[in-house]
């Protein structure tokens, strides 16, 4: 019972913290446009450029959601920027992240299987062929995820501790986070060996979590694994590993944001609010404690 309560508390805390961070990011001030190209949602501009480079910007712009999805998919599943710009790191960070993605997929498959069991679908020897295929697929996804995750995690720890380029800016928290994830993955591998096939126990456990019905008997390795995983969910929101959430805002609200400002729009209101913020520093072109609007006006007057 206490273990179930710990699992529920960690899941709710992680979801709540993620939502809170997303709200905080969404309310951040409008960024300074960095003119970073290409912008994935502009049609016909895959190589470079933006409509802002054209003299006339009054025409209707075509927005391509497919273009954004293609770019995001390449970055998520290929890590192409890291591949082209930092190949030595890519060899470890790629399997590490893909391993985590596969383990998330495994959890989704196990959750789906648990729901099927609740509705009376059999996963035993007499199960139909489609259920057996689902079981073998989830088995392969889970094993591959753990192996890739452990390989990538160990590689990143070694790379960051041995390579001077990374060692100088790798903090204790970075090492601790990687070691924490490594401990969870290693324990998962131990559970897989001691509970083989783990899928059956995992579905029973997931069913117990969904229905809040404790009763399944766990050995020491699986109990420790659930405690570690719950503690990891409590820990993650306080670490840079939440960058998966920040990436959405980085791309959509910084790199790709080319929204036009028209009078009376929400964007104009947000910018006007920022212009009324005072500055706390001084320079030849700016006096302290003036607002940005006053600084801009004074600069125009000087010109």
In whole angstroms, give the CA distance from residue 10 to residue 15.
9
C-alpha radius of gyration, the chain, whole number? 25
SS3 278: strand
pLDDT at 253: 83
Is the predicted pLDDT of residue 211 greater than 80, yes or no?
yes
Contact 77, 84 (CB under 8 A): no
Q: What is the distance between the alpha carbons of residues 180 and 270, in angstroms, rounded to a whole number?
A: 41
**Residue 80 in this model has a pLDDT that exceeds 70:** yes
pLDDT tens by residue, 136-180: 999 999 999 999 999 999 999 999 999 988 889 899 999 999 999
pLDDT at 173: 93
């Amino acid at each position: 019972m206490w273990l179930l309560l710990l699992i529920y508390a960690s899941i709710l805390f992680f979801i709540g913290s993620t939502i809170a961070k997303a709200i905080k990011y969404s309310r951040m001030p409008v960024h300074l446009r960095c003119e970073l190209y290409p912008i994935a949602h502009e049609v016909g501009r895959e190589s470079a450029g933006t409509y802002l480079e054209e003299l006339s910007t009054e025409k209707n712009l075509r927005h391509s959601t497919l273009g954004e999805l293609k770019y995001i998919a390449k970055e998520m599943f290929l890590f192409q920027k890291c591949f082209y710009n930092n190949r030595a790191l890519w060899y470890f960070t790629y399997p590490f992240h893909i391993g985590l993605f596969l383990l998330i997929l495994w959890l989704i498959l196990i959750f789906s299987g648990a729901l099927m069991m609740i509705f009376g679908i059999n996963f035993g020897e007499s199960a139909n062929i489609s259920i057996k295929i689902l079981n073998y697929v989830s088995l392969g996804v889970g094993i591959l995820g753990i192996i890739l995750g452990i390989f990538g995690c160990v590689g990143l720890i070694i790379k960051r501790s041995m390579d001077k380029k990374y060692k100088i800016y790798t903090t204790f928290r970075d090492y601790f986070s990687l070691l924490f994830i490594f401990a969870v993955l290693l324990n998962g591998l131990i559970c897989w060996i001691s509970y083989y096939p783990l899928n059956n126990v995992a579905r029973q456990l997931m069913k117990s979590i969904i229905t809040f019905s404790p009763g399944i008997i766990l050995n020491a390795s699986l109990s420790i694994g659930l405690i570690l995983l719950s503690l990891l969910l409590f820990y993650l929101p306080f670490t840079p590993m939440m960058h998966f959430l920040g990436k959405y805002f980085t791309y959509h609200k910084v790199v790709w944001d080319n929204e036009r400002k028209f009078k009376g729009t929400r964007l104009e209101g947000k910018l006007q609010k920022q212009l009324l913020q005072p500055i706390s520093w001084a320079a030849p072109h700016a006096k302290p404690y003036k607002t940005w609007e006053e600084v801009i006006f004074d600069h125009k007057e000087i010109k």
